[in-house]
Amino acid sequence: MSSIKTVGVIGAGLIGASWTALFLAKGLRVIVTDPAPGAEAKLRDYLQEYCSAVPNATCSLDACMQNYTFVTDIDPYLETIDLIQENGPERLDIKRQLFAHLDAHTPEHIIIASSSSGLPSSQFITDCKRNPSRILIAHPFNPPHLVPLVEIVPHSATGEEYITAAREFYLSLDKDPIVVKQETPGFIANRLQAAVCAEAYSLVSRGVVSPEDLDKTITSGLGLRWALTGPIMTNTLGGGGDFGHFISHLGPALRCWLDDMQEHRFDLGSRERVDALKDIVDGWVKNVDLKKVEANRDELLAELVARKLVALEK
Amino acid sequence: MSSIKTVGVIGAGLIGASWTALFLAKGLRVIVTDPAPGAEAKLRDYLQEYCSAVPNATCSLDACMQNYTFVTDIDPYLETIDLIQENGPERLDIKRQLFAHLDAHTPEHIIIASSSSGLPSSQFITDCKRNPSRILIAHPFNPPHLVPLVEIVPHSATGEEYITAAREFYLSLDKDPIVVKQETPGFIANRLQAAVCAEAYSLVSRGVVSPEDLDKTITSGLGLRWALTGPIMTNTLGGGGDFGHFISHLGPALRCWLDDMQEHRFDLGSRERVDALKDIVDGWVKNVDLKKVEANRDELLAELVARKLVALEK
Give the pLDDT score at B2: 45
Class of domain B6-179 as given by CATH: alpha beta
Q: Which residues of A touch B235 (CB under 8 A)?
A: 197
Domain B189-228+267-313 architecture: Orthogonal Bundle (1.10)
Q: Which residues of B touch A176 (CB under 8 A)?
A: 216, 219-221
Q: Is the pLDDT of residue A263 over 80?
A: yes
Taking CA–CA distances from B287, the nearest residue in chain A reads A241
Q: Please state, in angstroms and as integers, the Cα–Cα distance from residue A237 to each residue in A73, B7, B89, B133, following that order.
A: 53, 29, 21, 37
pLDDT digits (tens, 9 = 90+) for A107-155: 999 999 999 998 999 999 999 999 999 999 999 998 899 999 999 999 9
Tell me, yes or no, if B233 comes closer than 8 A to chain A by beta carbon. Answer: yes
What is the distance between the alpha carbons of residues A170 and A174, in angstroms, rounded to a whole number? 7
Angle at B61 between CA B56 and CA B65, to 5 degrees: 125
What is the distance between the alpha carbons of residues A188 and B261, in angstroms, rounded to a whole number? 11
Average pLDDT along chain A: 96
- β-pairing, B149-154 vs B135-140, is antiparallel
Q: Please state, in angstroms and as integers, the Cα–Cα distance from residue A267 to each residue in A273, B194, B252, B261, following that order.
A: 7, 19, 12, 15
Q: Show Cβ contacts of residue B259 under 8 Å, excluding neighbours closer than 6 positions.
A: none
A151 is catalytic: yes
Q: Which residues of A touch B278 (CB under 8 A)?
A: 243-244, 247
Residue to mutate among B119, B182, B193, B294, with most A CBs inside 10 A, is B193
Pairs of CB atoms within 8 A across A/B: 355
Closest-CA distance, A270 to chain B, in angstroms, reads 11
Angle at B69 between CA B67 and CA B71, to 5 degrees: 170
What is the distance between the alpha carbons of residues A307 and A48, in angstroms, rounded to a whole number? 23
Tell me, yes or no, if A230 comes closer than 8 A to chain B by beta carbon. Answer: yes
Residues 142-161 of B with CB under 8 A from A: 142, 147-149, 151
Q: Show Cβ contacts of residue A272 under 8 Å, excluding neighbours closer than 6 positions.
A: none
Q: Which residues of A touch B257 (CB under 8 A)?
A: 185-186, 190-191, 194
Q: Which residues of A touch B304 (CB under 8 A)?
A: 224, 227-228, 304
pLDDT > 90: percent of chain A: 96
Q: Which residues of B touch A249 (CB under 8 A)?
A: none
Q: Is the pLDDT of residue A251 over 70?
A: yes
Closest-CA distance, B84 to chain A, in angstroms, reads 23
Tell me, yes or no, if B178 comes closer than 8 A to chain A by beta carbon. Answer: yes
What is the distance between the alpha carbons of residues B48 and B209, in angstroms, rounded to a whole number? 41
Q: With a threshold of 0.90, tell me whether the complex ipTM lies above it.
A: yes
Q: Please state, in angstroms and as integers, the Cα–Cα distance from residue A111 to each residue in A6, A24, A143, B207, following that order.
A: 12, 18, 22, 25
Give the pLDDT score at B39: 97
CB contact under 8 A, B241 and A290: yes
Q: Give the closest residue to A147 by CA, choosing from B75, B19, B41, B226.
A: B226
Residues 10-29 of B with CB under 8 A from A: none
pLDDT digits (tens, 9 = 90+) for B261-297: 999 999 999 999 999 999 999 999 999 999 999 999 9
> Out of B151, B212, B272, B299, which one is annotated catalytic?
B151
- Facing residue for B188 by CB, picked from A193, A203, A225: A203
Closest-CA distance, A86 to chain B, in angstroms, reads 20
Query: Containing H/E element for A183?
Result: none
pLDDT band at A164 (very low <50, low <70, confident <90, very high): very high
Q: Is the pLDDT of residue A234 over 80?
A: yes
Tell me, yes or no, if B217 comes closer than 8 A to chain A by beta carbon. Answer: yes
CB contact under 8 A, A217 and B192: yes
**DSSP single-letter state for residue A78:** G
Report whether B165 contacts B154 (CB < 8 A).
no
Q: Is the pLDDT of residue A314 over 80?
A: no
Average pLDDT over residues A160-180: 97
- In tens digits, chain B (314 residues) has pLDDT values of 448 999 999 999 999 999 999 999 999 999 999 999 999 999 999 999 999 999 999 999 999 999 999 999 999 999 999 999 999 999 999 999 999 999 999 999 999 999 999 899 999 999 999 999 999 999 999 889 999 999 999 999 999 999 999 999 999 999 999 999 999 999 999 999 999 999 999 999 999 999 999 999 999 999 999 999 999 999 999 999 999 999 999 999 999 999 999 999 999 999 999 999 999 999 999 999 999 999 999 999 999 999 998 887 64
pLDDT digits (tens, 9 = 90+) for A27-75: 999 999 999 999 999 999 999 999 999 999 999 999 999 999 999 999 9
DSSP string, chain B: -PPP-EEEEE--SHHHHHHHHHHHHTT-EEEEE--STTHHHHHHHHHHHHGGGSTT--S-HHHHHHSEEEES--GGGGGG-SEEEE---S-HHHHHHHHHHHHHHS-TTSEEEE--SSS-GGGT-TT--S-GGGEEEEEE-SSTTT--EEEEEE-TT--HHHHHHHHHHHHHTT-EEEE-SS--TTTTHHHHHHHHHHHHHHHHHTTSS-HHHHHHHIIIIIHHHHTTS-HHHHHHHHTTS-HHHHHHHHHHHHHHHHHHHHHT---TT-HHHHHHHHHHHHHHHTTS-HHHHHHHHHHHHHHHHHHHHHHHH-
What is the distance between the alpha carbons of residues B286 and B266, in angstroms, rounded to a whole number? 23
What is the distance between the alpha carbons of residues B258 and A200, in angstroms, rounded to a whole number? 14
Q: Give the closest residue to B197 by CA, choosing from B281, B120, B287, B115.
A: B281
Domain A189-313 architecture: Orthogonal Bundle (1.10)
What is the distance between the alpha carbons of residues A201 and B231, in angstroms, rounded to a whole number? 9
Domain boundaries, chain B: 6-179, 189-228+267-313
> Quick one: how far is CA A135 from the chain centroid?
18
> Out of A108, A151, A161, A168, which one is annotated catalytic?
A151
pLDDT digits (tens, 9 = 90+) for B127-162: 999 999 999 999 999 889 999 999 999 999 999 999
Taking CA–CA distances from A302, the nearest residue in chain B reads B224
CB contact under 8 A, A260 and B186: yes
Residue to mutate among A139, A213, A259, A288, with most B CBs inside 10 A, is A213
Tell me, yes or no, if A164 comes closer than 8 A to chain B by beta carbon. Answer: no
Q: Which residues of B touch A304 (CB under 8 A)?
A: 224, 227-228, 304
pLDDT band at A313 (very low <50, low <70, confident <90, very high): low
